[in-house]
Structure formats: structure tokens, C-alpha cells
Amino acid sequence: MADCKNFNDNKEICNCTYSCSKKGYCCECLHYHRKRGELPACYFSADAEKTYDRSINHFVQLNS
């Protein structure tokens, strides 16, 4: 992955509990989830994030 000047700051505030190579690389994470029709963990509360349901439908249900 490309160097990211914000990597350390991003990794510190990332609320994703799933370990992957994109943690701290927000651009890569967003791209990955957009391709899958999902949103990244940072769009969800801590409890919602733990379900690993990153779907847009799940996000809408939680925020309606």
C-alpha cells in the first residue's frame, strides 16, 4: 500500500475490530467497502460495528 502521511493518526482512531491490512489506510478501506456496496466501520457505533454487517441497508436501519 502507498505511504499515508496520516497512517498513525488513522490507525489510532480506527474503530474497526476486524484485523486486516487496510487498518489505518482509510482510502484503501473506503475503496474496498464501496466496491462491495458497504460502508467502513467508522460509519457505525461500537455495538453496530461488532456485528460486521457493513451493508448500507444496515446503516439505514440503524439511522432511520
Give the pLDDT confidence score for residue 1 in this predicted structure. 61
Mean local confidence (pLDDT), 6-23: 93
- The answer to whether residue 41 is domain-embedded is yes
pLDDT reading at 2 higher than 70: no
- The answer to whether residue 7 is domain-embedded is no
- Convert the pLDDT of each residue in 15-62 to its tens digit: 999 988 999 999 999 999 999 999 999 999 999 999 999 999 999 999
Q: Residue 42 sits in which domain range?
A: 20-62
| Number of domains the chain is built from | 1
Q: Which residue has the higher pLDDT, 7 or 19?
A: 7
- The answer to whether residue 50 is domain-embedded is yes
- The answer to whether residue 51 is domain-embedded is yes
Give the pLDDT confidence score for residue 3 in this predicted structure. 85
- The answer to whether residue 12 is domain-embedded is no
pTM of the model: 0.83
Helix locations, 1-64, DSSP H:
7-13, 26-35, 46-49, 56-62
- The answer to whether residue 4 is domain-embedded is no
- The answer to whether residue 11 is domain-embedded is no
Q: Is the CB of residue 25 less than 8 Å from the CB of residue 8?
A: no
For residues 64 and 62, what is the distance between their CA atoms, to the nearest angstrom? 6
